[in-house]
Structure 1
Amino acid sequence: MTHSGETNEDAPRPSPRHAAWRWATPEAQAVLATHDLAAILRFHRRVHSQSQTETGALIGYDKTYISAIELGKRRLTDLDSLRHIAAQLSLPAHVLGVTDPADTDFRALVQFGQSTVRLAEIARQAGHASEAVAELWPLVARLEARTRDGHTEREALRLLAAAQLGLGTALGNVLPEERLSTAAHWTAKSLPVVSFFDEPGLTTTALRMHGNELRKAGLTGAAVSRLVRAASVAPDRTARAAVLPLLARAAGALGNASLFDRAVGEAKALLDVVEHTSLVNPVALYEIELRGLISTGRTRVAIGRAEQNAPAATTNVAPQWRVIELITTGRVRLLAGDNRGATELFHSATREARAQRLPHQLQRILRAAGEALPAVRSTADDVLTQLRAEMAA
């Protein structure tokens, strides 16, 4: 048996993708749960298509000793050697029975992180997206660093995906339009993690949130693609209902009237059979329908819809949805020739957008007001300038 602390430059290495994520699969977790080095080595060799000679070269042992370990004829108990093997296989050391200082607070990290993600979402829904970003950013950075070091426990990876999605969504509220691709970037980073869990519910959530950020960034074709897939893999009506309003918004922005109509129609039908949320409710669908009708060239229909009484709220609606509704309704009023009514709605939306720090919504006001309402444009532009200055600081 030969073992050396020196590394072999010509030794085969697992691909970064395998090294980072293979241990997160359900099959791998079952193997790791045994804490059996023989089973772990056999699994590693199989998924990387390595011979005993190649795996031995990777971790610093000859083929004969690898064979003896796998056959149960030899047991390795030296902690430094076990720690070395764990590092070479991109494993957290504790699965081989070695206490790793980096893992001593793992359970606390997971519990704290789960609470952080939940509280950040509550803050975002309450109109405090900036606070959500401030809480999630360090958590994501810590989890990503941990993953790069080879720590790929399922709990940590699931938490990482949730934190990346939450961070991207919160950034999508606080960033101006020209920087919204950053929000989509963070939600996109969750997708490779989520794919290894192979859970329809988790996949649906990730695709739904990423698709919405793509839409906001102006990538409507890609957004529709992600959201159509999210709807198709949704495991139940509740999960599908959460996708449909966002799919309708993206389809409307793309100008796809038939897809928009189908998504809105099904979303309305599901309102009677699923629990209402801040997105799945009559008020949110009312705004989505108005905006989509305009985007698909049916302005008269939108005006007629707006002249009817707006639906009553059936659940607590997030404050930003109030801003969104004010802008869309103001736009319809302006198209109907009601400049005074539009001005009042836009000014209300501007005040709310300032209070909630929503630059993207201020940019929507600027576009909607156009040349017809210069006073509205001036006020919204001043507020947007203030927000940008605060963000730069």
Structure 2
Amino acid sequence: MLRAYRRFNRMSQHKLAEILGYDKTYVSMIETGRRTINDVGTRRHIARTLGLPTHVLGVTDSGDADFAAMVQFGDSVIRLAEIARQAGRPVEAVDELWPLVARLEARAAEGHVERDTLMLLGRARVALGLSLGTVLPEERMVTAARWTGKALAIAEHLEDQSFLAHVLRMHGNELRKANRIPAAIARLNRPVHLSDHPEGQGAALAFLARAAGERGESDLFDEAMERFRSLLDQGHSQGMLLNPFTFREVGLRGLVSTGRAAEAIRLMQVGQVDTAPAAPQWHVIERVTAGQVHLAAGDHDSASDALNTALRAADLHRLPHQVQRAIRAARAGGLTEISAAGEAALTRLQGLLGPSESDD
């Protein structure tokens, strides 16, 4: 450690010895391993004098013990927050994650960058980004993408392909929601190939199809949907995204976005798939999309029913982004009463956003 410190600071042994108050020969013996420093006092003196974190020299304190305990239950915090988010309680997830992320960020800032700590910090960052991406309105969605981007900065260096693929999927989708579509597509293409299991690949394809549809890239959308269907045809149906319900919703929305409303109308007329959404927010997402397709077909009554259902559920689960989607659809279809109800719901939800759900 002393040799590395000298090289980094372009310092001679003599100068280092002078700073530490030691003889040059003593410093040389430490560097070559001929002398081992076992007493905590000396290690603390070296760390304090050189401005190094004490744990770098193997010195721990009560704070380290507390942190070790936190690492042990940090995994549980992240898993419980994800369960809450998927169950339609994203605000609860944000409230659970903020204290953990703050503690981990402070620890990293102090120089504690062990692999386990970085992995936990990366997982906490991406979980927080996903939860914020659920509760924030569109104009603040960049905050969610910022947190998933911070997670990606860690994932790129951990040499864990599965984790990297997961973060790329989630960061790409948050970029899409923040209207950074080209960047989203660039990120989402990578996990399609990196994902080492069908659920991960299906999620990447669903997000990629969504982004391609919003950009109007019909060829890329069709390719992603074809590969998505292939996974389902092979019997892979699992998780939040790799299931027939999500496949149908992504397909409907993408067809409308790529100028093929007639195909979306025909698909809608086939009827609902015989599966429930994997999470409450997906029911809301699907109802807004259904409203858009009904409007394209000129069926204002069915569109009104779908959008009203979506607004009630989005208000209940505090999903401002979906309220904003419903407002846009209602305005485009001339459904003024529904758009007004949506504006009122959006005002209520924005008033509920506390400091933990605001920009970082």
Aligned-pair distance for 1:190?
1.0
CA contact (8 A) 1:52 1:63 kept: no
Residue 178 (1) aligns with residue 150 (2) = no
Residue 338 (1) aligns with residue 296 (2) = no
- Out of 294, 299, 310, the residue aligned to residue 349 of structure 1 is 310
Aligned positions of 1:191-202 closer than 5 A: 191-202=152-163
Q: 1:122 to 1:50 in 2, by over 3 A?
A: farther
List per-residue Cα deviations over 1:124-152 (Å, max 9, x = no partner): 00000001001101110110001101112
Amino acid at match of 1:375: E
Match of 1:290 in 2: 252
Distance 1:71 1:392 in 2: 56
Aligned positions of 1:247-286 closer than 5 A: 247-271=208-232, 272-286=234-248
Match of 1:29 in 2: none
Q: 1:64 to 1:295 in 2, by over 3 A?
A: farther
CA contact (8 A) 1:227 1:247 kept: yes
Aligned-pair distance for 1:196?
2.0
Q: Secondary structure at the match of 2:236?
A: coil
Unaligned runs of 5+ in 1: 1-39
Residue 162 (1) aligns with residue 123 (2) = yes
Match of 2:98 in 1: 137
Residue 190 (1) aligns with residue 151 (2) = yes
* Structure-2-length-normalised TM-score: 0.90
Aligned-pair distance for 1:49?
9.3
Q: 1:391 to 1:68 in 2, by over 3 A?
A: same
Match of 1:79 in 2: 40
CA contact (8 A) 1:90 1:149 kept: no
Q: Secondary structure at the match of 1:105?
A: helix
Q: 1:55 to 1:75 in 2, by over 3 A?
A: farther
Aligned-pair distance for 1:80?
3.0
Match of 2:85 in 1: 124
Residue 328 (1) aligns with residue 289 (2) = yes
Aligned-pair distance for 1:55?
9.7
- % identical equivalent positions: 46
Amino acid at match of 1:239: G
Aligned-pair distance for 1:66?
3.9
Q: Secondary structure at the match of 1:198?
A: coil
Distance 1:226 1:339 in 2: 38
Match of 2:341 in 1: 379
CA contact (8 A) 2:199 2:239 kept: no
CA root-mean-square deviation:
2.4
Is 191-200 or 83-92 further displaced after alignment?
Answer: 83-92
CA contact (8 A) 1:59 1:84 kept: no
Distance 1:158 1:370 in 2: 44
Q: 1:392 to 1:74 in 2, by over 3 A?
A: closer
Q: 1:243 to 1:63 in 2, by over 3 A?
A: farther
Match of 2:272 in 1: 310
CA contact (8 A) 2:84 2:90 kept: yes
Unaligned runs of 5+ in 2: 356-360
Amino acid at match of 1:180: M
Distance 1:58 1:210 in 2: 49
Distance 2:19 2:273 in 1: 65
Amino acid at match of 1:185: R
CA contact (8 A) 1:331 1:368 kept: yes
CA contact (8 A) 2:199 2:238 kept: no
CA contact (8 A) 1:244 1:267 kept: yes
Amino acid at match of 1:310: Q
Is 193-202 or 174-183 further displaced after alignment?
Answer: 193-202
Aligned-pair distance for 1:370?
1.3
Q: Secondary structure at the match of 1:370?
A: helix
CA contact (8 A) 1:45 1:55 kept: no
Aligned positions of 1:33-112 closer than 5 A: 40-41=1-2, 53=13, 56=16, 60=20, 64-86=25-47, 88=50, 90-91=52-53, 93=55, 96-112=57-73
Distance 2:15 2:173 in 1: 44
Distance 1:346 1:90 in 2: 58
Aligned positions of 1:360-379 closer than 5 A: 360-371=321-332, 372-379=334-341
Distance 2:23 2:226 in 1: 65
Amino acid at match of 1:377: S
Q: Secondary structure at the match of 1:183?
A: helix
List per-residue Cα deviations over 1:48-99 (Å, max 9, x = no partner): 5967649947984676444322322112233233134456475552x64423
Aligned-pair distance for 1:228?
0.8
CA contact (8 A) 2:145 2:178 kept: yes
Distance 2:15 2:125 in 1: 34
